[in-house]
Chains A and B, each alone.
Chain A
């Protein structure tokens, strides 16, 4: 396809002059320049639909307000987004949207991130004229499968979910049924959602019609903090937000992952497995150090590790997990050099061709496989000669290496304990850089600050005084 030459033109919005690409969608330009325009059906990834009519703006020269999602930028366009007329239009449309809305806010999970709530507080604030008894009723908590719950009464019929299942994942499970006042979203009778990206409709839905069954009733959204990070499910490295909360009554916990917009990698979406991988970070974690099976304190464990490494000098094999951050891998590399050990990060253990698909899922299930390659770490399995000390930095296939003695530094509880097992912080409890399979570097910020934090990998290596690496 030929590249269209991007011509920048000037438009005037609310007496401000803005430069924009000619032919771009006006709503997108307005949103990018910080103007607050309400909208339901438009989505950057799905394109405009023109059915909600909320994004109306006044354009000089046109008699009636125009929807900005179907207006394209031309030279000299004069736009007004905040006039008395526009406010009246918005309030009217909002009132129509809310005619049959059940006002479920106390029980709806979307409260706090709901477009209806936000726009009502900003543009509405009217008294509804339809009494509760006269509203139409539909199905309330319908389980559509794949962790998606549908509430047909709350829907504003923006059809983002229909367009997603139809155009993006091309499975077409959702559609609008019946006419006029009785329109609602449904699947064909007996059919459920069955694609690997189904939970994205939960993010797309601007109201509480489609909600995550996994997150249902777990926490209120305003208690959550969103930390930008990267999913560690596979080498694609989709950008995510980690939504976590530390309350007076619970330690810092992760409640869900949400996709973060990254035009280079994942656009606006993530796969379902990656979305649900937050559970693995919190279940079955190792939090205490062990010598064989008995619990020991952290200082004693560090001393034992030092002693073992010194006595096995020269006969050490180091295994590193390919999910570790670049900074941690570098540190492990320096450590291995210092103690005279051979460093391996076998990648075969992570390959899963069955997982791969045409969009976001990669067959390489390690997040930093490219980082391992960049650092020149040996990616083959070490040959299992018996008389070695194996230091395992959280590699899942360490059991395949036969060693006389083993020191494990793990995030999760193993089935059997090695000679010395030390806990390390998971990737959400420390920060670092990952390199995805296309070579793009991404930064993950530390999300969790638990009350009793587990020491990080860097902390265990402090005894060897390997110098500072990047800030952790």
Chain B
């Protein structure tokens, strides 16, 4: 034999291993311990009992539902540049642009709809936006509705969502 031989460890060779029963017994010990500890005190089980308990790990970075941000005077910040619609991998953002007449900007969205049934909540739209107009820091993770149409968020709904972490000054 040359010295390139590699000895592979083989298991199940000793008599005790081949018997199976000692190993099974060890396994049963572990399982039974878990079972008895959890039955004795159900609070030992670390399950989140939703909806009585709400998740505690929603941070500012958590990507919940979207919201459109406002300028200082309360008007919409979005300029309908289509960066978010282009970046979106699910193509769930529908934007129709229109002229803005109040002198603050030239362009604004007439229609801005996000189909949350198509959305994958990746956050690319937030990254792509050059104006800090869209954010996903509402902390809302649970959306319910009875029809498909209820899940399409309109511009007014998106403007009405509030940040869950205090209104930060924009970084735009």
Contacts and interface: CB of A to CB of B under 8 A. Distances in A.
| Chains A and B touch each other in the complex, with CB atoms below 8 Å apart | yes
B60 interface: no
B94 A106 contact: no
Contacts, number: 34
A183 B97 CA distance: 31
**By CB atoms of chain A within 10 A, which of B81, B83, B91, B99 has the most?**
B81
A111 B83 CA distance: 11
A106 B99 contact: no
Interface residues of A, number: 16
Given A216-B99, A222-B86, A105 B81 contact: yes
Contacts of B80: 107, 217
Contacts of B98: 217
A217 B83 CA distance: 14
A260 interface: no
Contact of B81 (A107, A140, A247): A107
B81 A217 contact: no
A222 B91 CA distance: 14
Given A106-B130, A107-B81, A107-B107, A249 B99 contact: no
A217 B107 CA distance: 8
A86 to B, nearest CB: 31
Nearest to B98: A217
Given A217-B98, A220-B82, A141 B130 contact: no
B119 interface: no
A4 interface: no
Given A106-B81, A106-B83, A220-B86, A140 B106 contact: yes
Residue among B82, B91, B99 facing the most chain A CB atoms (10 A cut-off): B82
Contacts of B86: 220, 222-223
B85 to A, nearest CB: 8
A106 B131 contact: yes
Contacts of B83: 106
A217 B97 contact: yes
A127 interface: no
A405 B105 CA distance: 59
A385 interface: no
Nearest to B78: A106
Q: Is the interface of A mostly helix, strand, loop or mixed?
A: loop
A248 interface: yes
B82 A141 contact: no
Interface string A91-117: 000000000000011110001000000
A218 B130 CA distance: 20
A223 B130 CA distance: 19
A249 B94 contact: yes
A212 B131 CA distance: 25
Given A141-B106, A220-B86, A248-B91, A107 B79 contact: yes
A111 B86 CA distance: 13
A217 B80 CA distance: 9
B82 A105 contact: no
A216 B91 CA distance: 23
Contacts of B107: 106-107, 217
Interface in B108-158: 130-131
Given A216-B99, A217-B99, A220-B82, A107 B105 contact: yes
A222 B85 CA distance: 12
Nearest to A149: B106
B97 A106 contact: no
A141 B105 CA distance: 11
Given A217-B99, A217-B107, A222-B86, A105 B91 contact: no
A140 B99 CA distance: 13
Contacts of B82: 220, 223
Contacts of A223: 82, 86
Interface string A400-421: 0000000000000000000000
B106 A107 contact: yes
Nearest to B83: A106
In the A-B complex, the 8 residue pairs with the smallest Cβ-Cβ separation, listed nearest first, are A106-B81, A217-B97, A107-B107, A220-B82, A249-B94, A107-B106, A106-B79, A248-B91
23 contacts: A104-B106, A105-B81, A105-B130, A106-B79, A106-B107, A106-B130, A107-B79, A107-B80, A107-B81, A107-B105, A107-B107, A111-B81, A141-B106, A216-B99, A217-B98, A217-B107, A220-B82, A220-B86, A223-B82, A223-B86, A247-B91, A248-B91, A249-B94
Given A107-B107, A222-B86, A248-B91, 14 more contacts: A104-B106, A105-B81, A105-B130, A106-B83, A106-B130, A107-B80, A107-B105, A107-B106, A111-B81, A217-B97, A220-B82, A220-B86, A223-B82, A247-B91
